[in-house]
Amino acid sequence: MSANPARSESFETLPFQPRTGLARGEAIKGESEAAAGVWPDGRRATTPDNEAMSRPPALPNDLAAVRTILAADRTLMAWIRTSLAMLGFGFAIYKFLDGMVLEGILERTQSPRRVALVLCAMGIASILFGTISYWMTLRDVSRVEPFRLIRLVLIMALIMSAASLLIFAGILERLV
């Protein structure tokens, strides 16, 4: 094995190019920046053929930025969980109190709908605030080091937001 870890025989058989420990923007002797996999901003690409050099990586190379993104992911998932609990509880209360109205136990016929609408509105607000906060965090981190902003948890939050609005409209129009 050679002294240079980037040129050792064990790395040449791997399907990817491991990190070499070189400084930002520093290419291996004799290689051009494109062949060495150096991004225009100085970061090194980790793909063997460097075909992905035209799009930003899924995550930044800076571990602090990765931890920030993962923390934002967990926070958004907590917002989704809280929103889902409020929506589910609002819908359950609506159905329970609506059944009491149909049996004649409850005199106020608008009460179940109002309670459900308030809880669903709180659920919608929580998921929207969480999604906006998440997007702002991702945007701030991407200013420091670019990466792909579309993440699976963001797509799930947007789907849940749309479903929340449908539930709210269904209760509002008495469709459910």
pLDDT tens for residues 117-150?
Answer: 999 999 999 999 999 999 999 999 988 888 888 8
pTM of the model: 0.62
Residue 112 CA to residue 114 CA, distance in Å, equals: 6
- pLDDT value for 4: 52
Question: Cβ distance 26 to 4 under 8 Å?
Answer: no
Residue 120 CA to residue 127 CA, distance in Å, equals: 11
% the chain with pLDDT above 70: 69
Tokens 């209760």 belong to residue: 171
Of the candidates 72, 90, 74, 49, the one whose C-alpha atom is nearest the C-alpha of residue 139 is 72
8-12, 75-79, 120-124, 130-134: lowest mean pLDDT where?
Answer: 8-12
Task: Report the length, in residues, of the chain.
Answer: 176
Phi, psi dihedrals of residue 44, rounded to the nearest 5°:
-95, 135
Does 8 score more than 80 pLDDT? Answer: no
More confident position, 22 or 67: 67
For the stretch 33-44, pLDDT in tens is 444 555 556 666
Give, in degrees to the nearest 5, the angle at Cα 168 between 165 and 173: 125
Question: Cβ distance 62 to 56 under 8 Å?
Answer: no
Give one word for 42, left, alpha or beta, with left for phi > 0 and alpha for psi -120 to 50.
Answer: left
- pLDDT value for 108: 78
User: Domain extents for the chain?
Assistant: 1-55, 63-172
HSE value, Cβ hemisphere, 13 Å, CA-based, for 58: 5
Residue 116 CA to residue 147 CA, distance in Å, equals: 40
Residues 6+ apart with CB under 8 A from 28: 4, 6, 7, 20, 22, 36
